Amino acid sequence: MRLSRYFLPVLKETPAEAQIASHRLMLRAGMIKQQQAGIYSWLPMGFKVLRRIEQIVHEEQARAGHLAIQMPTLQSADLWRESGRYDGYGEEMLRITDRQGRDMLYSPTAEEMVTDIFRAHVSSYKQLPLTLYQIQWKFRDEIRPRFGVMRGREFLMKDGYNFDLSKEDALHAYNRHLVSYLRTYERMGLQAIPMRADSGPIGGDYTHEFLVLAETGESEVFYDSEITDLTFGDREIDYDDVAQCQSVLEEFTSRYARTDETHDEAAFNEVPEERRRVARGIEVGQIFYFGTQYSEALGASVQTPDGSKVPVHMGSHGIGVSRLVGALIEANHDDKGIIWPEGVTPFHVGIVNLKQGDVSCDSACEALYRAFLDHGLDPLYDDREERAGAKFATMDLIGLPWRITVGPRGIAANKVELTCRRTGESEEMPAEEAVEKIVSIYAGL
């Protein structure tokens, strides 16, 4: 993309209403625009990041054998009356009446509807296991929406639901989700720590939240410092392998790690003192096993091998897709702006032309731009007639991980400058070498 043809409405001033870094930086970098309290439009660069996150989620869900569907945003109140949640859900549920006077609601989650799909079409254990998921807009009418997309009212969520014949099978689905979430977050460049959590209105005994450590996190967290040394890495996983998934779960959940909701001071004190950490975290996902709670209420049963009928065991599993954009920035920024991890950056590399209109600079930049496109990468070329300082400030603010600077002096010596946004380090090299280096970085992802 050429910046002269892009819509990147960066702000010079820091918006007064934004209390935390991600909200401030998303507004300043022209990623979002607030339309009402807790409701945002995603401008081109913000939407690009959202799509990259969505894409990673889809790829990792497919790898785990889960199937993508799409449920409507508006649901019938009757379905929620069947499960018994309609009256109890409280004011966060946005209730709507259509022109025929029928009660509807804007889906905050979809256990009822996905169970309705299941009961309409599945009747035998032979059709199990089954996991259906979607990435869809949800609405929760928060009384105090704040922190930008971190606690909005209309938000994008991945919500997945497993259906299994037995508790044992459903716990494998639980483990499979835990493993695939670890991979998902790591691909985005995030360390999200699974912590034992409270099940809240979804219900159930087994649940873990995934938390990203950040000073501005809403939850207080308590953990054994050894847990932050764990990485999933590039290990091969067979998602059908029950023992393998179980052992990953054990590896990542055997150390103490809890939020304030489930914190147990006595258990925490058993962690050696030098490894005890108290910090803050942002919740970016949660997994649940809740058994037959919804399948019984909604009549979702299957025939077993011996001919009897049993309600299926279920769980639900969420990733906060739009919230992740905020969490990524909270965990990756400095005074100058955002620092995107390579896995989710809106553009792979920025090209800064120090002397727009100079024939040799322009043609070097064009050649770089073409070379990246030919390699299937997505460069952002700042081809505006602006001072170098303004161009650098914009690049630092929007946080592309790599920048190539092209100036007349460098070009005369057949050199461009390659700068890493995270370290600030620069290196001079021929343009071809810079392209090769960038291409090899992204090829490794």
Candidates 102-110, 197-205, 252-260, 281-289; binding stretch for its own copies (CB under 8 A):
102-110
Q: Which of 82, 83, 89, 122 binds its own copies (CB under 8 A)?
A: 122
Rounded Cα distance, 146 and 364, in Å: 45
Contact status: 89 vs its own copies (CB under 8 A): no
Which residue, among 54, 30, 92, has the nearest Cα to 323 in the 3D structure? 54
Contact status: 74 vs its own copies (CB under 8 A): yes
Which residue, among 409, 404, 443, has the nearest Cα to 427 in the 3D structure? 404
- Interacting positions 235-254 with its own copies (CB under 8 A): none
Candidates 73-81, 177-185, 412-420, 430-438; binding stretch for its own copies (CB under 8 A):
73-81
Which residue, among 7, 29, 1, 9, has the nearest Cα to 395 in the 3D structure? 29
Least distance to its own copies, CB of residue 285, Å: 21
Contact status: 98 vs its own copies (CB under 8 A): yes
Contact status: 104 vs its own copies (CB under 8 A): yes
> Who's near 185: CB < 8 A, 6+ residues apart?
191, 192, 210, 212, 284, 285
If one counts every other C-beta atom within 10 angstroms of the C-beta of residue 207, the result is: 23
- CA count, 13 A, side-chain hemisphere, 244: 10
Contact status: 115 vs its own copies (CB under 8 A): no
**Closest CB to its own copies among 117 and 367?**
117
Helix crossing, 21-28 with 321-331: angle to 10°?
100
431 with 367: CB under 8 angstroms?
yes
- Say how many Å lie between the first and final Cα of the chain, rounded: 22
Candidates 33-41, 173-181, 204-212, 418-426; binding stretch for its own copies (CB under 8 A):
33-41
Contact status: 69 vs its own copies (CB under 8 A): yes
Total residues contacting its own copies by CB under 8 A comes to: 53
Contact status: 321 vs its own copies (CB under 8 A): no
Contact status: 91 vs its own copies (CB under 8 A): yes
221 with 195: CB under 8 angstroms?
yes
Contact status: 36 vs its own copies (CB under 8 A): yes
Contact status: 113 vs its own copies (CB under 8 A): yes
Q: Which of 102, 235, 275, 370 binds its own copies (CB under 8 A)?
A: 102
**Closest CB to its own copies among 51 and 167?**
51
**Closest CB to its own copies among 52 and 258?**
52
Candidates 4-12, 19-27, 206-214, 295-303; binding stretch for its own copies (CB under 8 A):
4-12
175 with 249: CB under 8 angstroms?
yes
Name residue 284's beta-bridge partners: none
**Closest CB to its own copies among 121 and 409?**
121
Candidates 93-101, 178-186, 344-352, 391-399; binding stretch for its own copies (CB under 8 A):
93-101
**Closest CB to its own copies among 94 and 393?**
94
* Residue 183 CA from chain centroid, whole number: 12
Contact status: 33 vs its own copies (CB under 8 A): yes
Candidates 115-123, 164-172, 302-310, 410-418; binding stretch for its own copies (CB under 8 A):
115-123
**Closest CB to its own copies among 58 and 276?**
58
Least distance to its own copies, CB of residue 172, Å: 15
136 with 161: CB under 8 angstroms?
no
Q: Which of 3, 29, 130, 212 binds its own copies (CB under 8 A)?
A: 130
Rounded Cα distance, 196 and 288, in Å: 11
Report CA-CA distances (Å) from 434 to 369, 405, 441: 12, 10, 11
Q: Report which DSSP code applies to 194.
A: E
Rounded Cα distance, 420 and 437, in Å: 12
Q: Which of 89, 96, 191, 276 binds its own copies (CB under 8 A)?
A: 96
Q: Which of 12, 13, 101, 120 binds its own copies (CB under 8 A)?
A: 120
26 with 33: CB under 8 angstroms?
no
Rounded Cα distance, 284 and 355, in Å: 43
Contact status: 55 vs its own copies (CB under 8 A): no
In the numeric block, the tokens 């799409």 are attached to 70
Question: Which residue type sits at 42?
Answer: W
Question: Which residue type sits at 227?
Answer: I
Rounded Cα distance, 445 and 88, in Å: 45
Contact status: 47 vs its own copies (CB under 8 A): yes
Least distance to its own copies, CB of residue 51, Å: 8
Residues that bind its own copies (CB under 8 A): 5-7, 9, 30, 33, 35-36, 39-44, 47-48, 50-51, 65, 67-76, 79, 91-92, 94, 96, 98-99, 102, 104, 106, 113, 116-117, 120-122, 127, 130, 132, 137, 139, 141, 143, 154
